[in-house]
Amino acid sequence: MDKEFLSTSEVAKRLGISRIAVFKKIKSGDIKAKKIGRNFAVDKKDLPDVLGTALRKSQKQEIEKAVQKTVEEYGETLKLLGKE
């Protein structure tokens, strides 16, 4: 049976951090969680965001700018390196 939500313990295990750190991230808003009774649960669809595998639009733009700047400044060098 595939669960829709993960417990704070499961999220902590996947992130390699303590449950207390998960609670702090929930409180700060870094991790979206739903309160179910006395416990918090993280929706599996939000997991890529939690794990950092999903890039936000601002992050994509920042990467694009960095790549563009690198190509402008080192384009010829990159071409020469590509031939080796």
Residue 4 three-state SS: coil
Q: Compare 50 and 68 and report the one with higher pLDDT.
A: 68
Residue 56 three-state SS: coil
- Band (pLDDT 50/70/90 cuts) for residue 58 is confident
CA–CA distance, 15 with 52 (Å, rounded to integer):
10
pLDDT score for 66? 94
Q: Which fold has domain 1-53?
A: Multidrug-efflux Transporter Regulator; Chain: A; Domain 2 (1.10.1660)
Tokens of 78: 């990159």
Mean pLDDT of the chain: 86
Each domain of the chain, given as residue ranges in start order, spans 1-53, 55-84
